[in-house]
Amino acid sequence: MGFIVTFGTFILSTGFLYLVGHTFHIHWLMLHNEFTNNENGFNTSIGSLTPFILGLIISYFAERIYLHKSR
């Protein structure tokens, strides 16, 4: 059950942060994905990973709170 709480919290918090970023045009909360393929090579870039990192932190604390309350 702890995994479900941790994974669910991670998915919901990360999704919410990306949604807020796209809704209010906050660039450090938005996911930018660029791919360019030309004859000389290709370029890739990805946007902000801040919501992903914040989601990991939030899920860590949610797991700690869940484990503490379940004892």
Q: What is the pLDDT of residue 39?
A: 74
Helix (H/G/I), strand (E/B), else coil: 62: helix
Print pLDDT tens along the chain (71 aa): 889 999 999 999 999 999 999 999 998 999 888 888 887 778 888 888 999 999 999 999 999 999 999 88
Q: Could you count the other beta carbons within 10 Å of the beta carbon of residue 14?
A: 19
For residue 55, give its domain range: 2-70
Rounded Cα–Cα distance for residues 13 and 5 (Å)? 12
pLDDT value for 50: 94
Whole-prediction pTM: 0.80
pLDDT at residue 33, as a whole number: 81
* pLDDT given at position 51: 95
Number of domains in the chain: 1
> Residues 67, 10: contact at Cβ < 8 Å?
no
